[in-house]
Amino acid sequence: MEKRLYNFAAGPSAMPPEVLERAQKDMLCYPGAGCSVMEMSHRSKPFMKIRDAAEESIRRLMDIPGDYAVLFLQGGASLQFSMVPMNLAPRGALTAYSVTGNFAKKAWEEACRWGDARIVASSEEDGFRHIPKIKAGDVPEDAAYLHITGNNTIFGTCYGELPFGGMKDAPVPLVADWSSAILGLEIDVRKHTLIYAGAQKNLGPAGLTLVIVKKDALLAFPDPVVPTMLRYEPQIKADSMYNTPPCWSIYMAGLMFEWAEAQGGVRALERRNREKAALLYGAIDSSEIFENKVAAEDRSITNVVFTLPDKELTDRFAALCEDSGIINIKGHRLVGGFRASLYNGVSMEAVRTLTELMKDFERGL
């Protein structure tokens, strides 16, 4: 078997070997089904058990109350940029957005198609290097909701505290895209009206989107122009199977949830992720050449971005990483440099290998 390399991809991301081995074992014939998960009917008893087990597991992991629906949808987190306003706000209504990165801005742009989406906070002027603080008075009281992007994958920032001080009785409902931090960071579902997350970070392979939504927050009579497939209510009533769901991705997510529980749950995974991030940030902060420009209090423990002084050094270190078995370390094209995504599936060994390589590179200059 070809050797697995140290994968720091931002998504689709590294997955735990145990999960991949389990999927490999079940690939040809899922136990008791006589066929692969990719071949079985989504209405069959074996698949219904897979779907139900996945929901039960994520509810335990995130302590999701019964008045919240759990949906396994398609279209990626980007489709939620449109579904959220269509299901939570009447057409033309006021909504509030905090723009802290590329995807946060895209979410706002899509909401502008539906109504009066206003930017109430932004860090774009400084290149999205910090998380702007939001107080209750910053958000119009008649806004249908406030939308945030909890962790910014490209720019390496993350909300350490939710807007309004994380109040449970916030002045407006809170909606959050937690795609790149979900299950790697403890998130209080009760402080949110809706959470959504693309799967390809900590939840499994691409092709699935998790939506957690408070049922009584949905519009009683959504605008008739909204297509049925873009409404949450039909999916809730059909247990995420209004149409054929992404069966394989749901199965894989279930394996990831099962693995996460076996690791001790989200609290244990967050502790491990903080240790990985501390090791890498420590190497950056003690360096004379590597630099992280994110405000210290807003640094992401999930996506660590860093740069070198010039293109020549950047190219040399990128080549060294490739030669040393470290892949997908280059930064996003919008910012350049490097980005190490420390998802749950990334081992401490991988981070140690990277930090030692950084030190060796600097010593060799």
In a domain, 58, yes or no: yes
> What mean pLDDT do residues 126-141 have?
93
Q: Does residue 40 lie in a domain region?
A: yes
Q: Is the pLDDT of residue 166 over 70?
A: no
Give the residue from 262, 277, 297 where a domain finishes.
262
Confidence category of residue 221, pLDDT binned at 50, 70, 90: confident
pLDDT at 170 over 80: no
Q: Does one domain contain both 90 and 232?
A: yes
Residue 181 lies in a domain: yes
User: Do 170 and 121 belong together in one domain?
Assistant: yes
**Helix extents (H) in 63-177:** 76-88, 102-112
Q: Does 47 share its domain with 130?
A: yes
Q: CA–CA separation, 29 vs 39, rounded Å? A: 9
Q: Is residue 5 part of a domain?
A: no
Residue 4 lies in a domain: no
Residue 312 pLDDT exceeds 90: yes
- Per-residue model confidence (pLDDT) at position 220: 87
Q: Is 3 within the bounds of a domain?
A: no
Range of the domain at 302: 265-363
- Identify whether residues 71 and 217 lie together within a single domain: yes
Give the whole-number percent of the chain exceeding pLDDT 70: 98
Asked whether residue 250 falls in the same domain as residue 272, the answer is no
Q: For residues 335 and 213, state if they share a domain.
A: no
Indicate whether 275 and 253 sit together in one domain.
Answer: no
**Among 237, 262, 287, where does a domain finish?**
262
The larger pLDDT score, comparing residue 137 to residue 185, is at: 185
pLDDT tens digits, 222-242: 899 999 999 999 999 999 999
Q: CB of 146 within 8 A of CB of 139? A: yes
Tell me how far apart the alpha carbons of residues 293 and 129 are, in angstroms, rounded to a whole number.
Answer: 7
Whether 54 and 170 share a structural domain: yes
Whether residue 266 has pLDDT greater than 80:
yes
In terms of domains, do 223 and 296 share one? no
Same domain, 28 and 177: yes
Query: Is there a contact between 180 and 210 (Cβ–Cβ < 8 Å)?
Result: no
Are 252 and 340 contained in the same domain? no
Q: What's the rounded Cα separation, in Å, for the pair 209 and 199?
A: 6
Q: Which residue, of 240, 262, 284, is where some domain finishes? A: 262
Q: Give the pLDDT of residue 168.
A: 64
User: In this model, does residue 302 exceed pLDDT 80?
Assistant: yes
What is the average pLDDT score of the chain?
Answer: 96
Residues 253 and 351 in one domain: no
Q: Within a domain: residue 12?
A: no
- Contact predicate 104/271, CB 8 Å: no
Q: pLDDT tens for residues 106-122? A: 999 999 999 999 999 99
Using pLDDT thresholds of 50, 70 and 90, give the confidence band for residue 167: low
**CATH number of 328's domain:** 3.90.1150.10
The pLDDT assigned to 1 comes to 66
| Burial tier of 106 (Cβ tally within 10 Å: 0-12, 13-18, 19+) | middle
Question: Quick one: DSSP state of residue 296?
Answer: G
Task: Please indicate, yes or no, if residue 2 is contained in any of the structural domains.
Answer: no
User: Is the predicted pLDDT of residue 29 greater than 70, yes or no?
Assistant: yes
Could you report the per-residue pLDDT of 315-331, keeping only the tens digit for each? 999 999 999 999 999 99
Q: Tell me what pLDDT residue 2 has.
A: 83
Structural domain count, the chain: 2
Total-model pTM: 0.97
